[in-house]
């Protein structure tokens, strides 16, 4: 359980991600700020919001174990400025904890998270999943700064397959939804639970790829399952992950998209090609 | 939005699933009972518990739209007897609702659910996903009554591939985690949101298949994404679904398993082979 408790205060020289996801104790609650550095179209990038909420759990003194499964529901756009977070330990057993965080702004709950933490124990393990093929990070070409939204500039996207090429009109025939890319903070930062959670929301909406154009869309609910524990992440000591995203059902007013991140192959001191996270997604358009 | 409000009271001739998932209003809360008909080893089958909680949302007068994504966390075994449910509308927007249900027994919260409901609007849709091949339901052989747990007898499992064959000792080499089977209530019952949610927990733990033996395990957190709305389900008017389950990562003290249910091909009056749900899963052993 190394590094399970992130710092609660950061200074000006801190990494932009740590500044953006900082929480401070205020009157029995926790306060965060919708970071301009990670702003999207109508609110802060959902990944940064989710990471802020997860940090609010991990700074609790009684927090034990590592995150296993996190569901964040983004109910309404988070407005510029500060927000308050309430943190509740719903249930603790000998080996698991169930947490809930609510993000409050003037007009009520704008987002909430439920999270299962567990003290992982040695057990049988087995991983038929293989890491997708990819050239090394340095050999993949960075996506030029698209300038679309502030948060996009906080990440380096190095596509290996399925790079975005969005136009003004939709394709006549739906294209593939599959993408594979290296992903890193623009200013490299060691991968931890907070950045993995944020990265799990960085995959451009699959509908953009399939339709070939940007449509109004927002993440409504996102579940991320963690396969690595803190010791794994510390041992891997990496700043980049290989991500793959796909989708196979786009239905009325919603699209579901599985996506996953794998560790960079060949870097880990532990057995490489470990999968860090996987998740499905439910995005609502409109 | 046909059938979106299940009945709150049932009589003795009601289907066992409706009896098991019944809720009644008691002093501002809702009360359910851990059904003996759906009991598992140390508590009621998680799918029945989840369906009871979803029913408690759907009987709320202000509930609008159809379930889109449901996450249920099973924190502790539910004991025999009754339990109380508190239902809270966390946030409503013009087109979406975010609900939370907590299941309370003597010693606190034993389970909770968060659910996104949405009024689905006509939109572009696209489904590269194909339904797995399978012979018709009637041609697939039913799994003999295993007698393992009461809840198993409430379902007809007709395996097409990857039928269970559990022994007393684990395999030397891990076997495939993949299964495909027809699934129906033993007493046929028209598929609705409640039964789909319950069915999404019926897939035998993938680790049983891979190791070839039953190990202590329980569902801790389960997210189900619905691709069909109530009108789709009413139009399909079916009592059986084809399910497929797989897993590709089993890691310390947790296994993640994607699983999905598809409509029976050739039965629907609407375009057949519609996918009803998909979900990942996080099961903890021990």
Dump pLDDT digits (tens) for B219-245. Answer: 888 888 888 889 888 888 889 888 877
- Which of B74, B76, B98, B228 should one mutate to test binding to chain A, selecting the residue with the greatest count of A CBs within 10 A? B98
The nearest CA of chain A is from the CA of B151 a distance in Å of 25
pTM here?
0.90
- Output DSSP code: residue A177: -
pLDDT for the residue numbered A229:
85
> Can you give the CATH number for the domain in which A219 is found?
2.40.160.210
Residues of A in contact with B250 (CB under 8 A): 124-127
The nearest CA of chain B is from the CA of A111 a distance in Å of 9
Range of the domain at A77: 16-118
Cβ of B98 within 8 Å of Cβ of A90? The answer is no
Q: Are residues A167 and A272 both part of a single domain?
A: yes
pLDDT for the residue numbered B270:
31
Cβ of A253 within 8 Å of Cβ of B71? The answer is no
Question: How many interface pairs between A and B have CB atoms less than 8 angstroms apart?
Answer: 191
Give the closest of B76, B109, B253 to A121, CB-based: B253
**How many whole angstroms separate alpha carbon A84 and alpha carbon A102?**
8
A216: exposed, middle or buried (Cβ count in 10 Å: 0-12, 13-18, 19+) = exposed
Give the closest of B129, B174, B280 to A126, CB-based: B174
Residues of B in contact with A68 (CB under 8 A): 220-221, 254, 282, 284
Residues of A in contact with B253 (CB under 8 A): 95, 118, 120-121, 123
CA-wise closest residue to A154 among A122, A181, A187, A193? A187
Asked if B149 is an interface residue toward chain A (Cβ–Cβ < 8 A), one would say no
Beta bridge partners of B254: B251
> Which one has a higher pLDDT value, A58 or B68?
A58
Q: Are residues B279 and B150 both part of a single domain?
A: yes
- Output DSSP code: residue A126: B
Q: Could you report the per-residue pLDDT of A43-94, keeping only the tens digit for each?
A: 999 999 999 999 999 999 999 999 988 999 999 999 999 999 999 999 998 8
Domain presence at residue B46: yes
Domain presence at residue A281: yes
Q: Tell me the pLDDT band of A165, cut-offs 50, 70 and 90.
A: confident
Cβ of A120 within 8 Å of Cβ of B279? The answer is no
Residues of B in contact with A247 (CB under 8 A): 128
Residues A191 and A267: beta-carbon distance below 8 Å: no
Domain presence at residue A123: no
Give the closest of B96, B124, B253 to A120, CB-based: B253
Q: Which secondary-structure segment (H or E) carries A230?
A: helix A230-236
Domain presence at residue A131: no
Asked if A174 is an interface residue toward chain B (Cβ–Cβ < 8 A), one would say yes
The nearest CA of chain B is from the CA of A150 a distance in Å of 26
Is pLDDT at A230 greater than 80 in this prediction? yes
Q: Are residues B96 and B150 both part of a single domain?
A: no
**How many whole angstroms separate alpha carbon B176 and alpha carbon A271?**
22
Q: Are residues A30 and A152 both part of a single domain?
A: no
Residues A22 and A56: beta-carbon distance below 8 Å: no
Residues of A in contact with B69 (CB under 8 A): 220-221, 282
The nearest CA of chain B is from the CA of A16 a distance in Å of 30
Is residue B30 helix, strand or coil? strand
Q: Are residues B93 and B150 both part of a single domain?
A: no
Contact residues, A window 211-270, toward B, CB-based 8 Å cutoff = 211, 220-221, 223, 225, 227-229, 247-254, 256, 258
> Which one has a higher pLDDT value, A60 or B9?
A60
Boundary of a domain, candidates A86, A118, A150: A118
Q: Are residues A276 and A145 both part of a single domain?
A: yes
What does chain A come to in residues?
286
> Which one has a higher pLDDT value, B95 or A78?
A78
Q: Please give the share of chain A, as a percent, with pLDDT higher than 70.
A: 82
Domain presence at residue A125: no
**Total tally of structural domains belonging to chain A:** 2
Residue A204 makes CB contacts below 8 A (sequence gap 6+) with: A164, A179
**What b-and-e string marks burial along A56-74, b requiring 16 or more CB atoms within 10 Å of the CB?**
bbbbeeebebbbbbbbbbb
Asked if A86 is an interface residue toward chain B (Cβ–Cβ < 8 A), one would say no
Q: Are residues B110 and B144 both part of a single domain?
A: no
Domain presence at residue A173: yes
Residues of A in contact with B83 (CB under 8 A): none
Q: Are residues A73 and A154 both part of a single domain?
A: no
Cβ of B253 within 8 Å of Cβ of A116? The answer is no
Cβ of B93 within 8 Å of Cβ of A76? The answer is yes
Domain presence at residue B56: yes
Q: Tell me the pLDDT band of B4, cut-offs 50, 70 and 90.
A: very low
Q: Are residues B105 and B152 both part of a single domain?
A: no
Query: Which range among A6-15, A24-33, B3-12, B154-163 shows the weakest confidence by mean pLDDT?
Result: B3-12
Give the closest of B116, B256, B258 to A73, CB-based: B116
B164: its two tokens: 């269970």
Is pLDDT at B138 greater than 80 in this prediction? yes
- Which of B126, B130, B178, B271 should one mutate to test binding to chain A, selecting the residue with the greatest count of A CBs within 10 A? B126
Residues of A in contact with B90 (CB under 8 A): 73, 75, 102, 109, 112
Q: Are residues B163 and B279 both part of a single domain?
A: yes
Boundary of a domain, candidates A68, A83, A118: A118
Q: Are residues A84 and A149 both part of a single domain?
A: no
Domain presence at residue B51: yes
Q: Does ipTM top 0.85?
A: yes
SS (H, E, C) B210-262: HHCECCCEEEEEEEEEECCCHHHHHHHCCCEEEEEECCCEEECCEEECCEEEE
Cα distances (angstroms) measured from residue A120 to each of A260, A279, B216: 21, 19, 15
Is pLDDT at B79 greater than 90 in this prediction? yes
Q: Are residues A51 and A80 both part of a single domain?
A: yes
Boundary of a domain, candidates A85, A118, A151: A118
Q: Where do the DSSP E strands lie in chain A?
A: 24-26, 29-34, 66-74, 81-92, 96-105, 108-118, 155-161, 179-185, 217-226, 240-245, 249-251, 254-256, 259-263, 275-279, 281-285
Cβ of B280 within 8 Å of Cβ of A275? The answer is no
Cβ of B252 within 8 Å of Cβ of A122? The answer is yes
């Amino acid at each position: 359980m190394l590094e399970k408790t992130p710092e609660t205060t950061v200074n000006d020289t801190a990494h932009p991600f740590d500044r953006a996801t900082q929480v401070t104790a205020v009157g029995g609650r926790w306060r965060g700020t919708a970071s301009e550095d990670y702003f999207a179209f109508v609110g802060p990038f959902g990944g940064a919001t989710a990471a802020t909420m997860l940090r609010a759990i991990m700074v609790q003194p009684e927090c034990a174990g590592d995150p296993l499964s996190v569901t964040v529901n983004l109910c309404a756009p988070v407005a510029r400025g500060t927000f308050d977070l309430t943190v509740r330990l719903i249930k603790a057993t000998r080996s698991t904890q169930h947490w809930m965080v609510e993000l409050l702004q003037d007009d009520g709950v704008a987002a909430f998270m439920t999270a299962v933490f567990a003290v992982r124990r040695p057990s049988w393990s087995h991983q038929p999943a293989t890491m997708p093929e990819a050239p090394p990070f340095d050999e993949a070409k960075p996506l030029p700064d698209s300038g679309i939204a502030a948060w996009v500039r906080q990440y380096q996207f190095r596509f290996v397959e399925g790079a975005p090429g969005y136009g003004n009109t939709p394709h006549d025939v739906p294209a593939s939804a599959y993408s594979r890319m290296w992903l890193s903070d623009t200013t490299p930062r060691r991968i931890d639970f907070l950045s993995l959670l944020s990265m799990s929301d960085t995959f451009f909406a699959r509908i953009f790829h399939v339709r070939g154009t940007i449509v109004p869309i927002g993440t409504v609910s996102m579940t991320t399952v963690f396969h690595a524990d803190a010791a794994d992440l510390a041992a891997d000591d990496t700043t980049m992950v290989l991500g793959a995203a796909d989708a196979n059902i786009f239905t009325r007013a919603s699209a579901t998209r599985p996506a996953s991140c794998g560790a960079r192959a060949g870097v880990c001191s532990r057995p490489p090609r470990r999968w860090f996270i996987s998740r499905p997604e439910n995005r609502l358009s409109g």
